[in-house]
Amino acid sequence: MAKLHGQIYLSLAGYYDVKTADGQLYRTRARGNFRKRAIKPLVGDFVDFSVEPPEDGMILSIDDRKNSLVRPPVANVDQAVVVTSVKIPEYSSSLLDRQLVALEERQIAPIIYFSKTDLLTESEYRKLALIADGYRKIGYPVILPKASFDEPSLDMLRGFLPNKLTVIMGQTGAGKSTLLNHLVPGLNLATGEVSQALMRGKHTTRQVGLLTMFDGLVADTPGFSSFEVFDMEARDLTHYFPEFVRLGVYCKYRGCVHLKEPGCAVKPAVKAGDVMTSRYTDYQEFYDLIEGRRPVYNKHDKKH
């Protein structure tokens, strides 16, 4: 019985297709004790598995994950392309910043891709270009096509893909599948089919798979429609706004959350235009949202 190491490329109906470093693909199942321990292998996981042809292989252990996502269920993600619609649906700084916070929390590098820019008037495009510059100033790569899915913007995006595991995300209708189909003409993701090389047989249910694309891996199921939940404590939210982290060292008080504290370095930077007003407004909104979820206990209601 050979013991091998590889990465899960496809998960469907309880089977996992694992690819080894030499490019061989093996169909495996997970050991029963994974279920007992409530551990589920994910696409992107690096695993040890045994093979005894002609039987299916068996996943023996899962390496520690760098991170993992729920939608789509993928582990060890390096970066995410945040496809952000500017029209139909309208641009929302709140939605974009929610997604950026979620990625920062999981240590996934964001790339912002503005879609449907050809629907903008010239003045609307100029306004969006200023917003794009604001995010670039924070340190985020931003792709702002003059025309939707034009070749220069696609080339720029292709340059980010080598040697990375990338997830495409964005709200419903933002153009995630369309972007992938433009990146690789003929991919035809709308049909919901995985390449025969990965499928090796027909299954009706499928979760997510990895596509080899421009010397990198891309999750072929666009995920994320919205973010309603922040898992962190309100006081930790500031850690996921990189510009606040940089300015925070100049705040008078350590642990400043940049709301009502005296000697805060963030608030003057917002007034001076060095921090985007929309970012600060979204931060306040998210902070209040997290605080509003905290249970309120009646101090007089004591148990004896």
Known binding positions for Zn(2+) = 251, 256, 258, 264
Q: Is residue 260 within 8 Å of residue 232, measured between CB atoms? A: no
Question: In the numeric block, which tokens belong to residue 282?
Answer: 């979204």
Q: Which residues are annotated as a binding site for GTP?
A: 115-118, 170-178
Q: Is residue 108 within 8 Å of residue 78, measured between CB atoms? A: yes
Helices (H) and strands (E) in the chain, counts: 9, 11
SS3 for 94?
A: helix
Instruction: Tell me 251's DSSP state.
Output: S
Place of tokens 């931060």: 283
Question: In the numeric block, which tokens belong to residue 150?
Answer: 């034009």
Listed residue (5, 12, 22, 95) closest to 57, CA to CA: 5
Q: What is the DSSP string of 139-157?
A: T--EE--SSTT-HHHHHHH
Q: Which residues are annotated as a binding site?
A: 115-118, 170-178, 251, 256, 258, 264
Q: Which stretches of 63-92 are DSSP H helices? A: none
Listed residue (14, 152, 26, 221) closest to 143, CA to CA: 152
In whole angstroms, give the CA distance from residue 146 to residue 119: 10
Q: Is residue 20 within 8 Å of residue 6, measured between CB atoms? A: yes
Contacts of 7 (CB under 8 A, 6+ apart): 18, 19, 44, 45, 46, 47, 210
Contacts of 72 (CB under 8 A, 6+ apart): 43, 167, 207, 208, 219, 221, 222, 223, 224
